[in-house]
Copies of this chain bind each other. A is one copy, B any other.
Amino acid sequence: MPVQPRTPQGVLELLPPQQLAFQRMLDTIRRGFERFGFLPVETPVFEVTDVLLTKSGGETEKQVYFVQSTGALDQGHKPEMALRFDLTVPLARYVAQHEHQLNFPFRRYQIQRVYRGERAQKGRFREFYQCDIDVIGKDSLPLAYDAELPALIYGIFNELAFGRFTIYINNRRLLKGLLESLGIEKQTEALHEVDRLGKIELSEVQAKVAAAIGDEAKAHELLKRLTEPFEALASFEGNETFKAGYAELKQVYETTRALGVPAENLEVKLSIVRGLDYYTGTVYETFLTDHPKLGSICSGGRYDNLAEHYTKSKLPGVGISIGATRLFSQLMELGLVAATEKATAQALVLSVEKDLALEYATLAKELREAGLNVEVYGGDDKLGKQFKYADRAGVPLAIVVGSRERAAGRVKIKDMRVSAEASKEIDVPRGDLVSRVKALLATSPTP
């Protein structure tokens, strides 16, 4: 009995047309990263266990996949290696390990899969792509870099064309100063509730903040400030921390705009909090305007010290991350990433007569040398079957040459993008093949 072929739970395995669309999306992201001069890094899928799990266990450790070879398994050893669960820990390890060979500020991008032992449920992946960029400074990192990341993200989502989107920015120092200035001491508790703004009713958030900090008046004042337009904060009499945060946020907003991000794609949103124990300055979130339920599709922020577990050097940074697998899977469900390009081949040379195999090879060679992606049908099946293959494969053009055409020095091109009834074969001189194929591909099909 054959083994039932199946994938493990919680992975996204795509059919070729969808894989092609996904690949094009990753290519666009990569091009966007390189447009801003970021450098590629790849790290091994597994890390030494004690390097990966420097923080003391808890929730994270339960989600880790350990790796061991058969030998170690038999001997009952504890696993020496584990799969990375994000790209941040490997980055910290990488920068600390190669510190003296890197050029700071170090600008790296990394597009790889990460692994989490999530409970199996819809939308939760155990294997998924992350696309991360970070700028890491040595000792210090100028604020100008905080403006680069939203500008870069704008360029990418603009090119991906998934519809309208807004990049929201905030500043954790501003929040901290605001809370201090309002005399709110339970900051973590307050921010935990503030994070719900926009997800539940304002009055509800206010009640929760009041309950958390035990002061209704202060809760009211806090939420009044956080929901006013950003400009209104200019007149707020805050402490030094507040003023520094406010100035940072203003500068990041203005520089990002100067880097080419239109006003409708960039907004200050004072309720953004993000990871409470990690970010210290600028924070980012990104939403698709017409699909708010997807949540933030691209988030990140500024942190004080990347690699304290691995080095004594102080390495502040700012970074942002796109969860490509989750995003693609959601957009696929919404029908927003139709696989428009099903084939990589732009033309298929049909095998009309078996004896002309070398002629077909030569035709394909000429088209490929002109930079075109070309497939040759390998068998001597009936033409009907070959056309059906071309149609299913989604190849735009079929090249048809029999001995009659060959003798006459002609080639027929059939446009497969229009319906079989509407389609006509175009009869061209053999010598014009390459230029006619290129011209046809450059135009939309006209039925």
Contact = CB atoms under 8 A, between A and B. Distances in A.
B379 A127 contact: no
A206 interface: no
A193 to B, nearest CB: 31
Contact of A11 (B20, B44, B69, B83): B44
Interface string A1-43: 0111111100101111001100100000000011111111111
A62 B66 contact: no
Interface stretch (A47-55, A280-288, A405-413, A426-434): A47-55
Interface stretch (A173-181, A213-221, A368-376, A415-423): A368-376
Interface in A328-378: 343-345, 348, 351, 357-358, 361-362, 364-365, 368-369, 372-376, 378
Contacts of A71: 62, 117
Interface in A212-263: 254-255, 258-260
A97 interface: yes
A79 interface: yes
A23 B5 CA distance: 32
B51 A62 contact: no
Contacts of A66: 67-70, 73
Interface stretch (A266-274, A294-302, A303-311): A303-311
A5 B373 contact: no
Contact of A5 (B80, B97, B151, B395): B97
Interface string A361-404: 11011001100111110111000000001001101000000000
A67 B395 CA distance: 40
Contact of A311 (B2, B96, B343): B2
A37 B374 contact: yes
B142 A379 contact: yes
A172 interface: no
A240 to B, nearest CB: 21
Given A71-B117, A96-B5, A374 B36 contact: yes
B19 A41 contact: yes
A50 B3 contact: yes
Contact of A101 (B15, B45, B70, B309): B15
Given A37-B373, A42-B19, A145-B378, A259 B47 contact: no
Given A63-B69, A374-B35, A16 B3 contact: no
Which residue among A15, A258, A307 has the maximum number of chain B CB atoms within 10 Å of its CB?
A258
A308 B3 CA distance: 9
Contacts of A65: 46, 67-69
B47 A378 contact: no
A332 to B, nearest CB: 15
B81 A70 contact: no
Nearest to A48: B8
A14 B42 contact: yes
Interface string A162-200: 000000000000000000000000000000000000000
A208 interface: no
Contacts of A122: none
Contacts of A379: 105, 140, 142, 144
Nearest to A364: B259
28 contacts: A2-B309, A4-B51, A7-B43, A7-B97, A8-B47, A13-B44, A20-B40, A36-B374, A36-B375, A37-B344, A37-B345, A37-B373, A37-B374, A45-B83, A61-B70, A63-B69, A65-B69, A66-B67, A66-B68, A66-B69, A66-B70, A135-B378, A148-B376, A151-B365, A258-B357, A258-B358, A258-B362, A259-B361
